[in-house]
Amino acid sequence: MSDHSADLDARRAGTDDAETLARMLHDFNTEFDTPSPGPAVLVGRLQSLLAGPSTIAYLAGDPAAGFALVTLRSNVWYDGPVALLDELYVAPDRRGHGLGTAMIHLLIADAKEQGVSAIEINVDAGDVDAQRFYERHGFNGVNPDTGERAFYYSLEL
């Protein structure tokens, strides 16, 4: 039996991790029947984005079996940037072993250290497992001022 403590270690990814991230991002989209431009296109995009200050990625597991992708933006309502957790994925055979939690904990610690004011996440209405996961880690799906359910709308251009 292997030591799973190292397996749970999450780390910040760099541009040299773009191929690993691209493969897992493609696998994520494939698993949930979402279009993907393919790993080759994603590698180039990830290398470019991760080289800048506004995109952060995390990997968890050894070998990596989970990733989180985060973008930062300024916001008129906060002094610091707002982080959007764009993607969080753990390979199906490694779910339920703490990899997602390890990445969320690292994201929150990094965000506090970097002066991030808020972390936002978009979750599908039917994805109750993801909702429970995020709520377990302190995220809230309702407006704290009104108690009303939060909604996310988008328009692709």
pTM: 0.90
Helices of type H across the chain: 18-31, 39-51, 99-113, 128-136
Q: What is the mean pLDDT of residues 42-49?
A: 97
Give the pLDDT band (50/70/90) at residue 143.
confident
Choose among 98, 107, 35: nearest CA to 68. Answer: 107
When the pLDDT of each residue in the chain is averaged and rounded to a whole number, the result is 92
Give the domain ranges of the chain. Answer: 6-136
Q: What are phi and psi of 44, to 5 degrees?
A: -60, -45
Query: How far apart, in Å, are the Cα atoms of 114 and each of 33, 55, 59, 107, 153?
Result: 35, 13, 19, 10, 28
Residues 69 and 106: beta-carbon distance below 8 Å? no
* pLDDT score of 2 more than 80: no
- State the Cα–Cα distance between residues 2 and 105, nearest whole angstrom: 23
Q: What digits encode the pLDDT tens for the residues 47-72?
A: 999 999 999 999 999 999 999 999 99
Domain 6-136 has CATH 3.40.50.300: no
Q: What digits encode the pLDDT tens for the residues 121-132?
A: 999 888 999 999
> Rounded to 5 degrees, what angle do the CA atoms 37, 49, 136 make?
85
* pLDDT score of 1 more than 60: no
Which pLDDT value is given to residue 3?
A: 42
6: tokens are: 């190292």
Q: What is the mean pLDDT of residues 6-32?
A: 91
Based on the number of CB atoms within 10 Å of its own CB, is 147 exposed (0-12), middle (13-18) or buried (19 or more)? exposed
Which pLDDT value is given to residue 7?
A: 52
